[in-house]
């Protein structure tokens, strides 16, 4: 399959990384002029998305933008490559950053947050590193951006600087920096085995003789390295704790950057370092399937008992990230298509839910599910959007979650593993059990107090847009960003066809 693809030298992947980084000094210098500061934020977001979007036409002509910036060590360049998987991830992250930036303005102003300039500056660094992760051509480049993302997110997690936030930040660093050590160790071992760290469709290790114990141990090291950010149980507990962060940061963690970088890392390691054949030959797929299935079910049960709205959403994220891991573990092109679509579609749905939670908190100062009786009558746009996101995560059409779940179910059948179709069905029922009571409370229970309408338009408009996109992509998944076609290209590249 690779013979039909060609490469061309381009600075666009690097510019897409640097545009938000270049905005950081401008944001800092504009600290006393909030409107200008936020202009730089929005401008960088729009510029980043435009650059990423410009990579689509040549990609659909099977031409990949590449850039080599010199060697890190012998045989390992600091290199970028905009393949279908990377552009897919970068499109989602860059577009949702624009909406998150508008939402953040309404959030931080609504709460008169302190250190707003620091907040926007680190947000920009996080998005630069996320796009770097998307376009990394090898493990060394990937690790550099992956660890920059870890460090840049820390000031956002502790933004409130309360005792709870500081504890959450320490736990976040303890988990993610330890994971980084495992990832570096696994990459070093891979380099010793192959003399390369390149991401190769079909797997860098596919032609390297490996003892079974070596393959399993190396794979487990990698999964510890990327599994923390992917929140695979039992490596997940930092994520609910990190809900001490401001809501836009929670949206960043769950929908745009951090955890999506983790599951993106699972895709890169599984499909481009090991490859589908090695996953099967050494039964590494079983490790992914057992871990993903356990995480999906257990996290859903934990979400059921959470009264704190953001923590309930956090456990939902833990479960839904493992849908993507499940799509990889099924070693089926249809399942990988479903997993990649869920990476994108979960982002639009979950960012909607977190935007709603933030609007409720800023406007009404409510954080618990048990406090939401009747708020749908006062905040119909917000809770209507919440209902849309909930329906999608359950898997009901026309919201986009139905399509990614359908592809995952199709993949489990084509892979002759129907047990995992049952896991998906059970997960959908559990999703309904922890989301629908929130919607019922909001619209069908009498309010316990008098409420005063919607939150700021800067918060409500983005959440309505993301809810609308969730419906739009559920009906027209290939219009605009061509998400379905991109995911399909990746599946065909790795498996030689769609089945």
Domain boundaries, the chain: 1-276, 283-499
Q: How far apart are CA 359 and CA 475, in angstroms?
A: 27
3-state secondary structure of 170: helix
Q: How far apart are CA 336 and CA 323, in angstroms?
A: 10
Averaged over successive runs of 10 residues, the pLDDT of the chain (499 residues) comes to 78 97 96 94 96 96 95 90 96 93 89 88 94 97 97 92 92 96 97 95 93 97 96 93 81 78 96 96 97 97 96 95 97 95 96 95 94 95 98 97 96 94 97 97 92 91 96 94 91 73
Instruction: State both tokens at 406.
Output: 């359908």
Residue 391: exposure state from Cβ atoms within 10 A (0-12, 13-18, ≥19): buried
Estimate to the nearest angstrom the gap between the alpha carbon of 395 and the chain centroid. Answer: 18
Q: Assess whether the previous peptide bond of 398 is cis (omega < 30° from 0).
A: yes
Cβ atoms < 10 Å from Cβ of 211: 9
Contact indicator for 131, 257 with CB cutoff of 8 Å: no
Residues 219-245 as b/e (b if ≥16 CB within 10 A, e otherwise) read bebbbbbbbbbbbbbebbebbbbbbbb
The string of DSSP codes covering 135-155 is HBSBHHHHHHHHHHHHHHHHH
Instruction: State both tokens at 33.
Output: 């002029």
Continuous segment of H or E residues that includes residue 76: strand 76-82
Instruction: State both tokens at 303.
Output: 């979400």
Estimate to the nearest angstrom the gap between the alpha carbon of 11 and the chain centroid. Answer: 25
Residues 6+ apart with CB under 8 A from 163: none
Alpha helices in 203-252 (DSSP H): 212-227, 238-241, 247-251
Q: How far apart are CA 351 and CA 247, in angstroms?
A: 10
The string of DSSP codes covering 351-391 is HHHHHHHHHHHHHH---BGGG-TTHHHH-HHHHHHHHHHHH
Q: Mutual orientation of helices 309-329 and 401-414 as an angle, nearest 10°? A: 30
pTM over 0.85: yes
Contact indicator for 96, 351 with CB cutoff of 8 Å: yes
pLDDT recorded at residue 1: 42
Instruction: State both tokens at 61.
Output: 């002509």
Residues 6+ apart with CB under 8 A from 491: 333, 334, 336, 337, 340, 498
Q: Which residue has the tokens 């012998």?
A: 74
Continuous segment of H or E residues that includes residue 63: strand 63-73
195 secondary structure, DSSP code: S
Residue 291's alpha-carbon distances to 234, 264, 288, 295, in angstroms, are: 9, 16, 5, 6
In terms of Cα–Cα distance, which of 251, 447, 454, 226 is closest to 349?
251
Residues composing the chain: 499
Residue 74: exposure state from Cβ atoms within 10 A (0-12, 13-18, ≥19): exposed
Residue 252's alpha-carbon distances to 130, 249, 354, in angstroms, are: 11, 5, 10
Phi and psi, residue 5, nearest 5°: -105, 140
Phi and psi, residue 61, nearest 5°: -95, 10
Q: Apex CA 358: angle with CA 353 and CA 361, to 5°?
A: 130
Instruction: State both tokens at 290.
Output: 């057992």
Q: Edge to edge, what strands does the sheet with 76-82 contain?
A: 6-9, 63-73, 76-82
Q: How far apart are CA 422 and CA 409, in angstroms?
A: 9
């Amino acid at each position: 399959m690779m013979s039909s693809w060609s490469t061309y030298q381009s600075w666009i992947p690097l510019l897409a990384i640097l545009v938000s980084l270049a905005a950081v000094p401008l944001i800092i210098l504009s600290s006393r002029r909030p409107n200008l500061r936020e202009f730089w934020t929005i401008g960088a977001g729009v510029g980043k998305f435009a650059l990423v979007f410009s990579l689509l036409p040549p990609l659909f002509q099977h031409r990949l933008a590449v850039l080599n910036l010199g060697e890190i060590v012998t045989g390992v360049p600091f290199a970028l490559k905009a393949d279908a998987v990377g552009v897919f991830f970068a499109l989602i992250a860059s577009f949702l950053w624009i909406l998150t930036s508008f939402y953040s303005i309404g959030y931080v102003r609504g709460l008169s947050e302190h250190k707003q300039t620091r907040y926007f500056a680190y947000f920009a660094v996080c998005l630069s590193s996320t796009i770097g992760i998307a376009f990394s051509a090898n493990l060394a480049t990937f690790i550099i951006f992956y660890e920059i993302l870890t460090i840049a997110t820390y000031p956002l997690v502790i933004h409130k600087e309360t005792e709870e936030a500081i504890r959450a930040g320490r736990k976040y660093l303890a988990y993610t920096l330890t994971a980084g050590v495992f990832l570096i160790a696994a990459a070093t071992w891979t380099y010793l085995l192959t003399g390369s760290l390149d991401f190769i469709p079909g797997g860098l290790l596919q032609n390297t003789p490996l003892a079974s114990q070596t393959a399993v141990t190396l794979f487990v090291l990698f999964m510890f390295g990327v599994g923390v950010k992917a929140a695979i149980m039992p490596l997940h507990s930092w994520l609910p704790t990190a809900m001490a962060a401001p809501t836009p940061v929670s949206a960043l963690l769950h929908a745009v950057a951090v955890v999506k970088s983790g599951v993106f890392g699972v895709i890169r390691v599984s499909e481009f370092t090991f490859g589908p054949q090695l996953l099967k030959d050494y039964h590494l797929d079983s490790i992914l399937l057992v871990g993903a299935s356990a995480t999906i079910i257990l996290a859903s049960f934990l979400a059921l008992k959470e009264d704190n709205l953001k923590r309930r959403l956090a456990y939902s994220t833990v479960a839904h990230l493992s849908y993507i891991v499940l799509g990889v573990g099924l070693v089926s092109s249809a399942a990988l298509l479903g997993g990649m679509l869920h990476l994108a579609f979960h982002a639009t749905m979950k960012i909607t839910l977190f935007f709603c939670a933030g609007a409720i908190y800023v406007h009404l100062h409510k954080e618990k599910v048990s406090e939401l009786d009747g708020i749908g009558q006062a905040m119909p746009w917000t809770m209507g959007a919440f209902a849309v996101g909930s329906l999608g995560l359950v898997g009901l059409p026309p919201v986009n979650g139905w399509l990614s779940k359908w592809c995952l179910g199709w993949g489990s059948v084509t892979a002759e593993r129907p047990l995992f179709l049952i896991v998906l069905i059970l997960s959908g029922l559990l999703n309904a059990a922890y989301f629908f009571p929130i919607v019922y409370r909001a619209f069908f229970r009498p309010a316990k107090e008098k409420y005063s309408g919607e939150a700021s338009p800067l918060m409500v408009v983005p959440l309505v847009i993301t809810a609308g996109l969730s419906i739009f992509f559920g009906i027209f998944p290939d219009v605009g960003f061509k998400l379905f076609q991109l995911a399909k290209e990746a599946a065909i590249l790795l498996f030689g066809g769609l089945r």
